[in-house]
Amino acid sequence: MELHLEGKKVIISGGAKGIGASIVKSFANEGAIPIILGRNPDEAKSLLEEIGIGYSFHLELTNLEEIQQTVKRISEEIGTIDILVNNAGVNDGVSLNDPPSKFIESLQNNLIHPFALSHYFIKDLKKNEGCIINISSKVADTGQGSTSGYAASKGGINALTREWAIDLASHGVRVNCVVPAEVITPLYEKWLSKKDNPEKAKAEIEGLIPLQNRFTTSEEIADTVVFLASPRSSHTTGQIIYPDGGYTHLDRAFKN
């Protein structure tokens, strides 16, 4: 299927590794121009050398001044952008046992910068009738325990997706959200490796995923993002999409 994304300029926050890197590759495969924002310049450089196209800007996404200055640089050096993917975030384990200051820090890590990036790029998106894709987490729906900050942030992302879809509909800007659940990434594999029996732990999780009893791949998340960002999804906005093998909403007691 031709997605008509050639030459589209795409911002991907946290695009240097994990799901973000897969999103970068998937856009590049469609002829789009990825622009990576994040704190890993060496990893971003290596990724861009691999795919042969794109840009990267090194910044701390919790620093609002750095965000504003980076947006200005992108405007001056590259021009207007067409697509914004708010992907960066971290499950930092901030819980009710932590002081409120840590909760605020978690919101800064996971919720404030998507708002800031959307705010500073909104003129571009309106001008180009572009789109925003937010990356959430199943934790916003299911809870996880001991992760109040991350759960609140991702719940906020889901709510902002629909709020912004309403705000921007009259400007032709679409806003949608993709919700990963159990996705195999290097970070997830590192977490599994700390278990007493990593293979058993992995198999137990896979047994809870109704479709094919396997983890979602980062490429499957990325392809969903790219399709939603494309003109092939031209009348889709305000939607929260779960490419998760049925993990979030189907009965996990089900066994094949």
Question: Do the Cβ atoms of 119 and 161 come closer than 8 Å?
Answer: no
Q: List the chain pLDDT tens, one digit each, 256 residues.
A: 799 999 999 999 999 999 999 999 999 999 999 999 999 999 999 999 999 999 999 999 999 999 999 999 999 999 999 999 999 999 999 999 999 999 999 999 999 999 999 999 999 999 999 999 999 999 999 999 999 999 999 999 999 999 999 999 999 999 999 999 999 988 889 889 999 999 999 999 999 999 999 999 999 999 999 999 999 999 999 999 999 999 999 987 766 6
Which of these, 181, 177, 152, lies nearest to 240 by C-alpha position?
A: 177
Which helix (H) or strand (E) segment holds residue 29: the answer is helix 18-29
Question: Do the Cβ atoms of 247 and 182 come closer than 8 Å?
Answer: yes
Residue 256: per-residue pLDDT: 64
Q: How far from 6 is each of 76, 201, 203, CA to CA, in Å?
A: 21, 42, 40
Residue 126: per-residue pLDDT: 98
Q: How far from 169 is each of 81, 84, 130, 183, CA to CA, in Å?
A: 18, 16, 11, 31
Residue 82: per-residue pLDDT: 98
The residue type found at 237 is T
Residue 255: per-residue pLDDT: 66
Active site residues: 150
Burial 58-94 (b: 16+ CB within 10 A, else e): bbebbebebbeebbeebeeeeeebbbbbbbbbebbeb
Residue 217: per-residue pLDDT: 97
Residue 165: per-residue pLDDT: 98
User: Is residue 137 helix, strand or coil?
Assistant: coil
Which fold would CATH assign to domain 9-182+217-241?
Answer: Rossmann fold (3.40.50)
Which of these, 113, 94, 99, 98, lies nearest to 152 by C-alpha position?
A: 94
Residue 138: per-residue pLDDT: 97
